[in-house]
Amino acid sequence: MTANPYIKQYLMTAGPTPVPPAVTQAMAAPMLYHRAPAFDELYARVLGRLPAVFATANPVLAFTASGSGALESAVANLVRPGTRALALAAGKFGERWIGLCEAYGADLITHQPGWGARIDPAGVDRVLEREGHIDVVFGTLSETSTGIVHDIQAIADVVRRHDALLVVDAVSGLGAARMLQDEWGVDVVVAGSQKALMTPPGLAFASVSERALEAARALPGGRYYFDWARTAKSQAQGASPFTPAVSLFLGLDVALGLIEQEGLENVWARHELLARAARAGVLGLGLELFGDPDERSSVVTALELPGDVDGGRVPGILRRLGITANGGQDGLKGRILRIAHCGYFGAFDILTSLSGLELALDQLGHDVDHGAGVGAAQRVFAEAGVLAAA
Amino acid sequence: MTANPYIKQYLMTAGPTPVPPAVTQAMAAPMLYHRAPAFDELYARVLGRLPAVFATANPVLAFTASGSGALESAVANLVRPGTRALALAAGKFGERWIGLCEAYGADLITHQPGWGARIDPAGVDRVLEREGHIDVVFGTLSETSTGIVHDIQAIADVVRRHDALLVVDAVSGLGAARMLQDEWGVDVVVAGSQKALMTPPGLAFASVSERALEAARALPGGRYYFDWARTAKSQAQGASPFTPAVSLFLGLDVALGLIEQEGLENVWARHELLARAARAGVLGLGLELFGDPDERSSVVTALELPGDVDGGRVPGILRRLGITANGGQDGLKGRILRIAHCGYFGAFDILTSLSGLELALDQLGHDVDHGAGVGAAQRVFAEAGVLAAA
């Protein structure tokens, strides 16, 4: 295939997300021995920087793993056969909690209001009321498969009233959507390097409260690599328990510096504005948003593809335009497209995604008013003043 | 501290090992989405290349994890409370099998002839004879903590006669020491990216025979991320079950290409010659080798530090010379130094390590004949003709 010189490559997925050049450059440094002072310093600096992003005083435990590895750490440390667990699932990643809890033999209750729904805290309250004692509730901050960011603050209030532990999958949400672990009283928050933390995949995190660590200690065995107590003890001594992904630590250090420089509040505000512009663009094109998004849905915007196009072809056409974007997963395949704004994303990334969407729909025979979506999004940025010349 | 312009930095550890520049460069490419065709191709190519390094027809399962994660996969898939397991341990990494088996509740027998010993296959035979039925035997190819490479071929013969499964930790050995999984009849071989595979840490592998996969299927549950059947099924469909460490795959692809280019037999021969030179250098300095090395000990050379120096200071002095090298671990701290030759190592790396050792011992007051170690090693290279002008 001859390259089309009009086409450049744009990674517009919700994870892995684009990596800032400064992060990539840092990762190109010569390899470090993980027991040498140069790595010790790096390790301490990264572990020292992470808690701010979780808004916690907990030590944040770092694992060399995909995000799912840190999810598994929560189940391996808190669930035994017969443990009473409640999984809140309104999409693919919520359902991962179900698979994990089943693998570990939990006495499992599920609350599944359907893909695209926002979990209703009052509904969670009713389930907890009805079911009697529950040990652990598993939830999701940002459900990447549907674009919904759940109201973890309200869910945490409910769960604490029922005296259960709350574990939140914030893999795609952390750093993109507001998440105040300690203020909201969330026992465990799990995250990954490859989303709003702007680093390649391969590092995963669990911010574990003392209460959750106690609960884990009461259920020893059945785990080793993902054992929280082992990792916490080793980190407290300044050492990684296993050979860590050194190059990813080099990158993450720079990425966390970028977040500090921008300021976490500003990072959240940027994600919210990018999302608002994306939603305006979708509506400006006469399309509908998928599910039940609100101002919190700042990680990825899911839209319903129009009925007059073969939706399954949209990601492929976008790819021919150089844009790698997410269609729907599982039952939503061909029905939705997802515009990501998670991590290293700016205003023109949203405009590019919307342009690509317009062009793709046009190529599939949908009646497109070229620029209608882009223009609507652009107006949001113009009105917010974020692109104003200094 | 003002930099000393005479001092450059040399990573001389047995893992993480130095990364070839071409591998580093490949990892600096823009991030790829792991469900896009460009990654699919990369993933298929890497998974297609890996079995040759294991000398196996098995699919090699890839995990985003430290090497210990792949070790855990073997225990999580093959051990349940009461499973009869035998751990062969003659150093720190052999002992990791003990910790893992205990965490999973194995009915565990250990064979521990002491750090530095080479496991005697006849001794293993006697243990298996005495203990009656054993389900799984856990062993180590290269014991990095002592420099010993165990005779896995002979151990495999014994284990098969007793109808047990054999799992071998080849994390530091694979690609440095001869390992012929299928010919030797080893059921499971576990490895990591950061040793002789010349890639940063963060990927781990398990080459699993059909027989071992069957055994794992008979023990479902209690695992998810490290589940072999899930990973095998997903890989057979060309997809990573979880978001993989994309940048490390980019690097590993290039590293495997370098191994193919050199030829695996030549790679093994290079490691053996580097090791022979290192041993000659140690003896040329009037020092003694630690433990019971032989021609197989091609990954790392352990030497006993002389009694008239404070051995605990050697790694620090080497570091001031710009050389990061491994001292002893646990009970061997201060007693030994380890000269690595695992992965991206050439002749002059061995000479540099030996020079550093001579200078460090001199600084600590030991009577050193400068060049005696280097010269002895250099003679090995000269006689082998590998540095001859074309």
pLDDT digits (tens, 9 = 90+) for B248-261: 999 999 999 999 99
Question: What is the per-residue pLDDT for A121?
Answer: 98
CB contacts under 8 A, A 322-361 vs B, are 324, 326
Burial class (CB in 10 A: 0-12, 13-18, 19+), B154: middle
Question: What is the per-residue pLDDT for A259?
Answer: 98
Q: Predicted confidence band at B37 (pLDDT cuts at 50, 70, 90)? A: very high
Give the minimum alpha-carbon distance from A66 to chain B in angstroms, rounded to a whole number: 6
Task: Calculate the average pLDDT of chain A.
Answer: 97
Question: What is the per-residue pLDDT for A359?
Answer: 97
Question: Which residues does chain A have within 8 Å of residue B250's beta carbon, measured at their own beta carbons?
Answer: none
CB–CB of B56/B207 below 8 Å?
yes
pLDDT digits (tens, 9 = 90+) for B48-87: 999 999 999 999 999 999 999 999 999 999 999 999 999 9
CB contact under 8 A, A225 and B69: yes
What's the predicted TM-score (pTM) here?
0.95
Question: Which residues does chain A have within 8 Å of residue B92's beta carbon, measured at their own beta carbons?
Answer: none
Among B28, B99, B244, the residue with its CB nearest the CB of A66 is B244
Question: What is the per-residue pLDDT for B389?
Answer: 72
CB–CB of A84/A135 below 8 Å?
yes
Interface test with A, best of B11, B63, B64, B79 (most A CBs within 10 A): B64
C-alpha to C-alpha distance for A142 and A171, rounded to whole angstroms? 8
Q: Predicted confidence band at B98 (pLDDT cuts at 50, 70, 90)? A: very high
For range A309-337, the mean pLDDT? 97
Give the minimum alpha-carbon distance from A126 to chain B in angstroms, rounded to a whole number: 30
Check pLDDT > 60 for residue A1: no
Residues 6+ apart with CB under 8 A from A372: A284, A285, A286, A358
Burial class (CB in 10 A: 0-12, 13-18, 19+), B16: buried
Q: How many residues does chain B have?
A: 390
Give the minimum alpha-carbon distance from A314 to chain B in angstroms, rounded to a whole number: 13
Q: Of all residues in chain A, what percent carry a pLDDT higher than 70?
A: 99
Check pLDDT > 80 for residue B387: yes
Closest residue in B to A79 (Cα–Cα) = B222
Q: Predicted confidence band at A390 (pLDDT cuts at 50, 70, 90)? A: low
CB contact under 8 A, A202 and B242: no
For range B150-156, the mean pLDDT? 98
Q: Predicted confidence band at B119 (pLDDT cuts at 50, 70, 90)? A: very high
In degrees and rounded to multiples of 5, residue A110 shows phi and psi of -120, 145
C-alpha to C-alpha distance for B154 and B318, rounded to whole angstroms? 38
CB–CB of A147/A292 below 8 Å?
no
Q: Return the SS3 of B142.
A: strand
Question: What is the per-residue pLDDT for B2?
Answer: 66
With the C-alpha atoms ordered A181, A182, A183, A188, is the resulting torsion angle positive or negative?
positive
Question: What is the per-residue pLDDT for B3?
Answer: 83
Give the minimum alpha-carbon distance from A242 to chain B in angstroms, rounded to a whole number: 6
Among A19, A25, A64, the residue with its CB nearest the CB of B65 is A64
Check pLDDT > 60 for residue B1: no
Side-chain-side CA neighbours of residue A97 (13 Å) = 32
Question: What is the per-residue pLDDT for A389?
Answer: 72
Interface test with B, best of A12, A17, A23, A66 (most B CBs within 10 A): A66
Question: What is the per-residue pLDDT for A99?
Answer: 98
Q: Does B8 touch chain A (CB under 8 A)?
A: no
CB contact under 8 A, A99 and B224: yes
For range A67-89, the mean pLDDT? 98
Closest residue in A to B222 (Cα–Cα) = A104
Q: Predicted confidence band at B210 (pLDDT cuts at 50, 70, 90)? A: very high
Closest residue in A to B16 (Cα–Cα) = A33
Among B30, B69, B243, the residue with its CB nearest the CB of A194 is B243
Interchain CB contacts (distance < 8 Å): A and B: 173
For range B146-160, the mean pLDDT? 98
CB contact under 8 A, B28 and A33: no
Task: Calculate the average pLDDT of chain B.
Answer: 97
For range B143-172, the mean pLDDT? 98
Provide the 10 A C-beta neighbour count for residue A382: 14
What is the set of domains in chain A, with CATH numbers? Answer: 10-17+263-384 (3.90.1150.10), 21-261 (3.40.640.10)
CB contacts under 8 A, A 256-315 vs B, are none
Check pLDDT > 80 for residue B351: yes
For range B122-132, the mean pLDDT? 98
CB contact under 8 A, B67 and A242: yes
Q: Predicted confidence band at B390 (pLDDT cuts at 50, 70, 90)? A: low
Q: State the DSSP code for A29.
A: S
Question: Which residues does chain B have within 8 Å of residue A223's beta carbon, measured at their own beta carbons?
Answer: 103
Check pLDDT > 90 for residue B133: yes
Strands B336-340 and B326-327: antiparallel
Question: Which residues does chain B have within 8 Å of residue A242's beta carbon, measured at their own beta carbons?
Answer: 66-69
Check pLDDT > 80 for residue A331: yes
CB contact under 8 A, B16 and A37: no
Question: What is the per-residue pLDDT for B275?
Answer: 98
Does the complex come out with an ipTM higher than 0.85? Answer: yes
The CA-atom distances, in angstroms, between A367 and each of A134, A183, A312, A364, B363 are: 52, 48, 18, 9, 80
Residues 6+ apart with CB under 8 A from B51: B57, B58, B59, B60, B207
Check pLDDT > 80 for residue B32: yes
Give the minimum alpha-carbon distance from B241 to chain A in angstroms, rounded to a whole number: 10
Question: Which residues does chain B have within 8 Å of residue A245's beta carbon, measured at their own beta carbons?
Answer: 66, 200-202, 245, 248
Question: What is the per-residue pLDDT for A388?
Answer: 82
Among A17, A64, A221, the residue with its CB nearest the CB of B66 is A64
Is residue B143 left, alpha or beta, with left meaning phi > 0 and alpha meaning psi from -120 to 50? beta
* Helical ranges in chain A per DSSP H: 21-27, 37-54, 67-78, 92-103, 121-131, 152-161, 181-184, 210-217, 228-236, 246-262, 264-284, 314-320, 347-363, 372-384
For range A343-362, the mean pLDDT? 97
